[in-house]
């Protein structure tokens, strides 16, 4: 595997400046237009979550590393991860607010912050939401709440509940398809895809015993493939290793994308579907890594170990 590591000077630059410098390199492809889906390359931006004292923050920047913005939002952190999702085509983030645990939306330029009117079975959300995920255009939202997947149509600041799907307990990964018609989620050592319109459920992958599909599921922009994180569970040497694989959304053989005795997790596809950006954890330090799916060339994007547990994204 070819690897390029970007150096920086931690004594002279802040962690955010390190992130800007690192993320600048190699991101033209990550934020470029999606081939065949009618988008121009335009002024793309990238984003990632960052740890705060009590909640997580969200940063975005241009693909040239300039115009860094911290959105004026406070993202709730539940079960060790940032509870937010992005609709890349609409350029909107949906997130659970840390202050009142309500569901909010905001433009990815930090404007138009709104509290969403979200009722489940006629009642407001009470307690923690496990997962939220959006379609690419932000017209449909899926929420995992008390072991059910609730589907909503997004109408301005209102969410209209359309259906609900029973889900297994202890979902470890969850994602709504770009067209908003399917959900993928993992439980234990299995990966499932459910058709929202028919409620048909397909088990597209089973992993061996003493392994599990970990947090981190992401649909490719065309909805044909799913990237997921797989690793061993337990204690001892090798049991913390995690790597990223890709499988057709209809099932079949998986392709291993990353290698190594580290935690490679939380994959997110580039807009052209040719690269994956993900988090790598080694010891207590985290970095962003951009990998070319075809030739496995990696670019390490230093952020001084200050990433939050949420998907990096491009839009």
pLDDT tens digits for range 203-239: 998 877 666 666 678 999 999 999 998 876 555 555 5
Mind giving me the DSSP string for 272-299?
Answer: TSSEEEEEEEETTEEEEEEEETTT--EE
- Contacts for 38 with CB less than 8 Å, ≥ 6 apart: none
Q: Which residues contact 18 (CB under 8 A, 6 or more apart)?
A: 8, 10, 302, 303, 304
pLDDT given at position 128: 73
Domains of the chain, residue spans: 71-167
What would the DSSP string read from start to end of 13-36? S-HHHHHHHHHHTTHHHHHSPPTT
Separation CA 266–CA 82 (nearest Å): 12
Three-state secondary structure of 189-236: CEEEEEECCCCCEEEEEECCCCEEEEEEEEECCCCCEEEEEEEECCCC
pLDDT at residue 170, as a whole number: 73
Tell me the mean pLDDT per 10 residues along the chain, length 315.
Answer: 38 40 40 38 67 75 65 76 88 87 88 87 74 93 85 85 74 90 86 90 81 79 94 58 92 92 88 88 79 89 61 79
How many DSSP H helices and E strands does the chain contain?
2, 29
In Å, how far are 171, 200, 221 from 272, measured between CA atoms? 28, 29, 7
Evaluate whether 192 touches 172 at the Cβ level (below 8 Å): no
Q: How far apart are CA 279 and CA 14, in angstroms?
A: 20
**What local confidence, expressed as pLDDT, does residue 18 receive?**
43
The Cα–Cα gap between 302 and 162 comes to 42
pLDDT recorded at residue 302: 56
Looking at the domain that runs over 71-167, which CATH code has it been given? Answer: 2.120.10.30
């Amino acid at each position: 595997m070819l690897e390029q590591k970007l150096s920086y000077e931690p004594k002279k630059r802040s962690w955010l400046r390190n992130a800007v410098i690192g993320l600048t390199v190699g991101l033209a492809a990550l934020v470029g237009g999606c081939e065949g889906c009618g988008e121009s390359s335009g002024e793309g931006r990238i984003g990632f979550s960052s740890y705060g004292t009590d909640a997580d923050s969200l940063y975005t920047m241009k693909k040239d590393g300039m115009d860094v913005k911290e959105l004026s939002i406070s993202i709730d952190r539940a079960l060790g991860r940032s509870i937010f999702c992005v609709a890349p085509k609409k350029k909107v983030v949906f997130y659970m607010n840390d202050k009142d645990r309500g569901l909010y939306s905001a433009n990815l330029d930090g404007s138009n912050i709104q509290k969403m009117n979200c009722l489940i079975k006629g009642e407001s959300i009470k307690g923690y939401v496990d997962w939220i995920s959006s379609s690419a255009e932000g017209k449909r939202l899926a929420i995992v709440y008390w072991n059910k997947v609730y589907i909503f149509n997004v109408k301005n600041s209102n969410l209209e509940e359309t259906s609900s799907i029973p889900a297994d307990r202890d979902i470890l990964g969850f994602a709504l398809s770009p067209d908003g018609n399917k959900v993928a989620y993992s439980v234990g050592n299995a990966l499932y895809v459910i058709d929202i319109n028919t409620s048909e459920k397909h088990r597209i992958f089973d992993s061996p015993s003493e392994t599990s599909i970990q947090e981190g599921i992401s649909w490719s922009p065309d909805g044909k493939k799913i990237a997921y994180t797989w690793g061993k569970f337990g204690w001892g040497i090798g049991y913390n290793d995690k790597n990223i694989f890709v499988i057709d959304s209809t099932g079949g053989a998986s392709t291993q994308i990353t290698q190594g005795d580290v935690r490679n997790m939380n994959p997110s596809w580039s807009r052209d579907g040719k690269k994956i950006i993900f988090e790598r954890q080694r010891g207590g330090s985290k970095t962003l890594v951009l990998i070319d799916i075809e030739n496995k060339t990696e670019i390490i994007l230093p952020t001084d170990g200050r990433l939050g547990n949420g998907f990096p994204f491009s839009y």
